[in-house]
Structure 1
Amino acid sequence: MEKFTGPFEYNSTRPHLKLAEYGRNVQNMVDFVMSLPSKEERNLYAQAVIELMGQLNPHLRDVSDFTHKLWDHLFIISDFQLDVDSPYPVPSRESINNKPERLTYPSGRIKFRHYGKTVEMMIEKAKAIDDPERKSMYVNQLANFMKLAYITWNKDSVNDETIKSDLSILSGGELELEEGVNLSKVDPRTTRGNLRDKASAKSHQSNTGGGKKRYNQNGGKRY
């Protein structure tokens, strides 16, 4: 066996990979396609490279317009210098490296964090309702939701007066519950317990045939 005596070639000394997920071999293939003098040959080999790229990255098949994505990657690997007939518009370096606009962080202050921003949005919507009857129903449901949110985060019982006071504060005094309205008793732990009891009872009823005795064709009881 012939002994290798030449210098080792490290990745750090090789040209930088434009898209590392495709590997060195695809990069070399693209470089080879770029070196072909005939555009007809370049088109033929470029199509073969596209098919190979699709096999190396099957997860891209879940992306909409899968083939378009592969052609964009082909031009990126070639550093936008490959001259072939693409079925899609050739991307530019500027469009690929263009950074999205910076999103502004919401700066609105939440008065009561345990209610959250959603409750404040619901209050603003309730204030815009013109129909008195519909508005009253909406406010009642909103107050019940506020009570649920309060108990969920504070793990303590809360009286209706606290919810009414918070509703008045958040709405700037525009929303008030009618006199004599009692909010539903809301206790997440009790609710979850009731749901478990109902599910257990339903399962037991199913296993025992719904509590009814069954009879076979001969009239005898079957248990």
Structure 2
Amino acid sequence: MLYNTQQKRMFLPEYGRSIQNMVDHALTIEDKAERQRCANTIINIMGSMFPHLRDVPDFKHKLWDHLAIMSDFKLDIECPYVVIRKDNLITKPDLVPYPSTKIRYRHYGRTLEILIKKACEFPEGDEKKNLVALIANHMKKDYMAWNKDTVDDRKIADDLAELSVGKLQLTDDILKLMESRLATNRRPRPTNNNPRRNYK
């Protein structure tokens, strides 16, 4: 018995050994017209193996690319598409650019730094005060999530001033807004006191 591990390595195992044998047979056909007919038949069989992919753009083009790969680019036929070149198979993808700037306080994160920068550009007024109060409350939540300890408003005020280069300050008005928002969040939700109904 001949095991798969003892046979020729398949370029695209997802098509199976039978399709690979068909491609290998096509390579042995000397008549060009017959070889072309054989290639078209192989493409049709390959397409029928994955009917759910027929709506994918360039599905036929990909099949011809796969046929070229499975024949190790040695199959001399007329392709309806420009098939992939062998030297393009091993090309490495472009490196993903990662941000190289450092985060001042990791427990606050980069998004908060961006938000503080945007808040600095706001004109003075109630909208800016509300935004600074939201930022400060969020800083308290982030601080407590990482440090598992109580945090004083003065610590938040110092960090906010440092991150905003002194442009944002926790004034008394903003502290009152923060307290009112915290009180609103702590307010218990109304419960349904109706007795449980019995349904038949």
Shorter-chain TM-score category? 0.7 to 0.9
Equivalent residue number for residue 86 of structure 1: 79
Deviations along 1:33-82, whole A, 9 cap, x unmatched? 23333443333332332232234345655754333322221211111222
Equivalent residue number for residue 123 of structure 2: 131
Pairwise mapping of residues 38-187 of structure 1 onto structure 2 (< 5 A)? 38-57=31-50, 60=53, 63-127=56-120, 129-133=121-125, 134-182=127-175, 183=178, 184-185=181-182
Answer whether contact 2:132 2:174 (CA < 8 A) is retained: no
- The CA deviation at 1:12 is 4.0
Equivalent residue number for residue 215 of structure 1: none
Equivalent residue in structure 2 for 1:19, among 12, 25, 28: 12
SS in 2 for 1:176: coil
Q: How many residues align?
A: 194
TM-score by length of 1: 0.69
Which residue identity is paired with 1:81? K
**Farther-moved stretch of structure 1 (156-165 vs 112-121):** 156-165
TM-score by length of 2: 0.75
**Could you say if the C-alpha distance between residues 164 and 63 of structure 1 is closer, same or farther in structure 2, counting changes exceeding 3 Å?**
farther
Structure 1 CA distance for aligned equivalents of residues 140 and 105 of structure 2: 13
Answer whether contact 1:143 1:167 (CA < 8 A) is retained: yes
The unaligned stretches of length 5 or more in structure 1 are 1-7, 209-222
SS in 2 for 1:166: helix
**Greater relative contact order: 1 or 2 (C-alpha under 8 angstroms, separation 6 or more)?**
2
- The CA deviation at 1:99 is 0.6
The unaligned stretches of length 5 or more in structure 2 are none
**Could you say if the C-alpha distance between residues 82 and 117 of structure 1 is closer, same or farther in structure 2, counting changes exceeding 3 Å?**
same
SS in 1 for 2:173: coil
**Could you say if the C-alpha distance between residues 146 and 36 of structure 1 is closer, same or farther in structure 2, counting changes exceeding 3 Å?**
same
Backbone CA RMSD of aligned residues: 3.5
Answer whether contact 2:129 2:174 (CA < 8 A) is retained: no
* Identity value in percent: 41
